[in-house]
A and B are shown apart, each in its own frame.
Chain A
Amino acid sequence: MKYKFIHPEPKEDDIVGPKYWKSLDEAADTPEFRQWLEREFPAGASEIEGVNRRHFLKIMAASFSFAGLGLAGCRQDEKHMLPYAKQPERNVPGVPLYYATSMPRSRGNIPLIVETQDSRPTKIEGNPSDEFYNGATDAFAQASILDLYDPDRATKSLNADKEPISKEEVEALFQKINEKYAAKKGAGLAILSEKSTSPTRDRFVAELKKLYPELIWAEYEPLNYDNPLKALQAQFGKSLRPWHHFEKAKRILSVGSDFLGMESGHLASAYGFSKTRKVKSTADVEKMSRLYMVEADFTPTGGMADHRLRLETANHAAFLCAIGAEILRQTGGSKALISSLEQKSQGLNVDPAWIKQCADDLVAHKGEALVAVAASLPEEMHVLAMALNTHLGANGKTISYTEVPVTDAQSIDILAEAVKGKKVETLVIMGGNPAYNAPAKLDWANLKSSVPEVIRYGYYFDETSEVSNYHIAANHYLESWSDGRTWEGAYVPVQPMILPLFDGFSELEMLAKLLAKKDFDPYASVKETFINLYPGKNFDEWLSVGVVKDESFKPEDIKVDVAKVEKAVADAKIKPASFTVENLDLQLTPSRQVFDGRYNNNGWLQEMPDPMTKLTWDNAILISPTLADALTEKFGYALLPKPSLMNEMGQANINAAHFDAGKEEAYIAELTVDGQTIRGPLHIQPGLADYAVVVPLGYGRKTVGRVGMGSGFDAYPLMASTDTNAIRSAALKVTSDRYSLANTQEHWSMEGRALLREASAEDYKHNPDFVKKMGLESHSPSIYGTASGDSAKVKATQIPRGGSAYKTPDFKGPQQWGMSIDLNTCTGCSACVVACQSENNIAIVGKDQVLRGREMHWMRLDRYFSSGKDDKTVLPTDPQVSFMSMLCQHCELAPCENVCPVNATVHDEEGLNVMAYNRCVGTRYCANNCPYKVRRFNFFDWNKREIGHFYEGPTGPAGMPELHKMQKNPDVTVRMRGVMEKCTFCVQRIEEAKINQRVKAKDSDNILVPDGTIQTACQQVCPTDSIVFGDVADPTSAVAQAKDSELNYSVLGYLNTRPRTTYLARIRNPNPLMPDFHDQPLSRLEYEKRYGHAASHEEMAAAH
């Protein structure tokens, strides 16, 4: 009997709004948003600038008739094949070579494996040989390969007149310096450098100091993460640093520490933390960790928290004192310390129950609890945290202390003094960009007048180069020899895999020049360092593995001196402050896209939406909805979407939305701190502390390449007067000016319908099948009909039709590919977005096109806020956030395939939904019919035309720069204008693995690719192993087992699309005793308010 399913009439609530909302407009459900949602492509996307469609068709008809005459031009050209004159060994054309190297960072290198195609580095992956990082990398490392091929990088060294100088002239310049300062013992010579972890560099610096005893060697990083180190140094007289072991922690309190994002060692932290959050069945719930987070900003770490306290940054220290007092009281801490802490936290406006219950929970899990504090907190607070962790029995378990090598370097302030005193004759600035990010430390504009000779060594011609006499071009790290250590202390190489593309020098070469080393060989220097550090170990093996196995910083036993702690805490100047709209708390944060500004010219990072704000190409002054309300009242500009959708006349309220066809029209505000004023657009970010102003750094560069030019505003002037972490109060003034922010949060919105499924740990224990009771499919018979009990293999290969109207393809392939994404461990770091872009030759489209909703990312990270309320008139201030990565779901019954008039998108035998670009004629019907909105259309020849010249068409400059071509993955087609594209499940990697397996199999039948051989780009990069890919027809595969979990569900499963990508529901683990406890996640509360209590079809049938 045919069963016809009738959709229930939508309830009032259904029409008013979906239950998860991604932006304030969506929450208020403004008409603009409705319109946005109902269109497949964002409104601007399909309109042609300046030409109406009819006119366009007329022109095109004419051009087609002319095109017909040119048939003969298609004849194949004579092509040449150029073999090597002498074939080098091991280099097999067409087979990529992989090199182990690492990305130098100031706080710790990231170990990498880099894929090279015909000697061109094309893709960066994490090195799985490193035990702490699990082969993960972050977005910065992924995107760094683009910098190598950046046409805007400094290709030649320049003199003061910006004329190129040859390598020989650079040599001569340094020879002169050597001669001059060797005689003067270095007096008058100063070097300002970036921080580095390289032992070889350290060795060279020591040699420099020997050669030039009077030399000023200074190091500077704009973002200071050294407070823990300094604090422990003062306590123990040794360079000790805490090392958090999240994999062992069951109760975590993070005071402002974004340990999954920006704090040091974040990749290892994320991997460790995720291990405690993997839930496959109810048995795992007990093992789950619980995260308490206190923060002003809303970071991805805050998004993972089970309890989140919004608190202005300035009060974090007072909070730590308050909870510290409670913990010490319960664990028998010193009376004097307790009373000192109590006194310092007096007047802190935080619910005492929150503090009490959190402390109780931590103390109850002695030995498994951990207090992590932001590196930016004052040094005394790190001493206190150490004391608290000791009292919680954390030492040696969830936290250890390791001694780390520290370079003996002066601070930039000392250098600035010397410059002011005219004691510096030659200043060499190695790397960094202090003229931009240390504006107040030196009088940059007049630097040349106080220092006769400024030599700048850098990768880009930037602000610092502007104020220097010479710019020496730097090599990329993929072109240089060096070494380094990870944050955890593993010794890793930096080895080149391509000869320098331009006339640059590596950092070691620069130091060697200063050291007057003749015939310098950086390879030999690194080898020497290696042999000194690890005598007896094999250098070549180190280069091929990329890490010295089982070597990391060793934990040290520490004995806490209570008196010293008491003194440190007593000395701390801490006083809880109260903030109002007149007196705001300011937090300057590194940008998650461009960090401190160094990645500003990287298009992948610029276009990667910030996981929380979803902004691209800009930063913004982030404020809370509460503050927005207050500012609206104060200045009279409506900052918030009006809750009422109609005005008095009954017409749609024009001002109801900030969003006009996907453009966020933000008000520009003036932010004043200590007399310094900057201007920037306001972005209202739910979840911020009420009176906190959060400003990401790294934008508003003045001398930068074409990509970064014009992006965002510069917030470094606010850092001018004191150091980065100093606490200052700020004032905001809203102006009437508006600014368009390219915000992707409403792009590709999907209708509600239980996209996200979440439960609290407690509820999950009692309702293990809650996932099945949510969404529309819970009210209908199973889409698999009578076959719902069949194995995954039968379901995947034979597809019982279950009454589907769609024509189903045959899945006869021996392996059936599928993916599982664990929402429980996805931290929203967005590394997958960039990894996908890098692997699949995905184009950058530029801000103007993002504003039109034409970004090309195959993988997007949907960020949902939920408030738990169903009230559309009040803006939520304290929402929970959930991330969901959304990519082509590879539906077995794909709606896109049925509407394609030219069969350009079809299924293959192994369950992939494939796109044949050559067949695609660009009707975009498929994208229209895709319920997941994961298809992307090439509105322009992104790869052929330059950003800014898209609209000129054939009259504009054509051709991709040679440099850009070098980065492209040769295994993936570079798409042209007019074709649709989407996630392919990295089909090139699948085919490569299949071919390799068959080559091995020869005349045997061993053709099945072993599980784990194929890793998609997004899976490989994921620090938390949230993404699992493999053969769903093999019950032993990791992906089949993940999908076996009762938490497994399909997004929009009731559409009977049968996606091959499924998700594991998120489990939150709140503490029932906490004052902000909800028995369900907020998203679930919203769900239940709207649809009633979750129940399955059978249960409902029984009730009727």
Chain B
Amino acid sequence: MANIFPKWSNKVPIRAVIGILLIVVALTIGVTYYFTPKYANVGYQPIQPVAFDHSLHAGQLGIDCRYCHTYVDRSEHSNIPGANTCMNCHNQVRSDSDALAPIRESYNTGKPVYWVKVHNTPDYVYFNHSVHVNRGVSCVECHGKVNEMKVVFQDKSLTMLFCLDCHRNPEKFLRPIDEVYNLNWKPESEQAQLDMGKKFVHDWKVNPPVSCSGCHR
């Protein structure tokens, strides 16, 4: 009796097993990558060229965010300070510290310091800092308690869903304008936040965009 199956069919099972294994591996990699906070980069904490300690400057010393991030309330970007801002103090304080060498070099040569970007939104997202901080959304909502971070890391997912959570329910996040830069501020209770938030939404006519044009152009 002639063979029903051609010779190559001997290899089908092994091929199938390898194929299935490959798919499983790809799926595992895919899930661990895309379905976990890794994809959203939560916890991303790169090493910066200068070990700037926010917990010291903003926390212990109590320097206002806007002393360095000068344009946060005027521009879409919250700027990284130039070396001249650092040197305002550091030409007096610890003026010969090794840690500050890159700053001094930048100040003297005019070459920028290569800070590593921590919070990143895609290019097609047109996020604007000024409209948030001027309307009662605190830095802490997106950046976490930076005043307690020795090395800055990404605290929130900054995904579109994260944005929409707030845009759909602004009353949960709004705070008095005076407390925007106070990263330690806390509402008395959840209910107090909701009551106050609702009042702000009504009084200030807060209507955050929830359609595409708000952020994508």
Contact = CB atoms under 8 A, between A and B. Distances in A.
A944 to B, nearest CB: 14
Contacts of A72: 29, 33
A84 B107 CA distance: 9
Contacts of A68: 26
Contact of A909 (B106, B131, B211, B216): B211
Given A914-B213, A918-B124, A1002 B134 contact: yes
Interface in A808-864: 812-814
Contact of A814 (B29, B136, B207): B207
Interface in A985-1013: 987-988, 990-991, 995, 998-999, 1001-1005, 1007
A86 B82 contact: yes
A532 interface: no
B214 interface: yes
B79 A908 contact: no
B71 A814 contact: no
B128 interface: yes
Contacts of B200: 1003
B217 A988 contact: yes
Nearest to A984: B217
A10 interface: no
B112 interface: yes
Contact of B112 (A84, A907, A915): A84
Contact of A85 (B26, B82, B120): B82
B112 A71 contact: no
Contacts of B210: 909
Contacts of A92: 71, 74-75, 79
A259 B46 CA distance: 63
Interface in B84-131: 84-85, 106-107, 109-117, 120, 123-124, 126, 128, 130-131
A69 interface: yes
A82 B113 contact: yes
Interface residues of B, number: 58
B183 interface: no
A910 B117 CA distance: 34
A334 B130 CA distance: 73
B82 A1005 contact: no
Nearest to A908: B211
Contacts of A988: 126, 217
Contacts, number: 161
Contact of A84 (B29, B75, B82, B136): B82
B30 interface: yes
A83 B212 contact: no
Nearest to A69: B26
Contact of B115 (A80, A987, A1005): A80
Given A94-B71, A95-B75, A1003 B204 contact: yes
A906 interface: yes
B41 interface: yes
Contacts of A163: none
A86 B84 contact: yes
B27 to A, nearest CB: 10
A916 B214 CA distance: 11
Interface in A72-99: 72, 75-76, 78-87, 92-95
A107 to B, nearest CB: 38
Contact of B217 (A907, A972, A1005): A972
B83 interface: yes
B149 to A, nearest CB: 17
A917 B113 contact: no
B81 interface: yes
A918 B216 contact: yes
Interface string B189-206: 000000000001001110
Contacts of A973: 123-124, 216-217
24 contacts: A80-B114, A83-B113, A84-B82, A84-B84, A85-B82, A85-B106, A85-B107, A87-B79, A87-B84, A92-B75, A908-B214, A909-B207, A909-B209, A918-B216, A984-B217, A988-B217, A991-B128, A991-B217, A998-B131, A999-B74, A999-B131, A1001-B134, A1003-B203, A1007-B205
Given A95-B71, A999-B74, A1003-B203, 20 more contacts: A76-B120, A80-B117, A83-B79, A83-B82, A83-B113, A85-B82, A86-B84, A87-B82, A92-B75, A906-B212, A909-B210, A909-B211, A912-B213, A914-B216, A918-B216, A991-B213, A995-B76, A999-B73, A1001-B135, A1003-B204
Which 7 A-B pairs rank lowest in CB-CB distance, beginning with the nearest? A908-B211, A82-B112, A87-B82, A94-B77, A94-B75, A79-B117, A84-B82
Interface of A: 68-69, 71-72, 75-76, 78-87, 92-95, 812-814, 906-910, 912, 914-918, 971-973, 984, 987-988, 990-991, 995, 998-999, 1001-1005, 1007
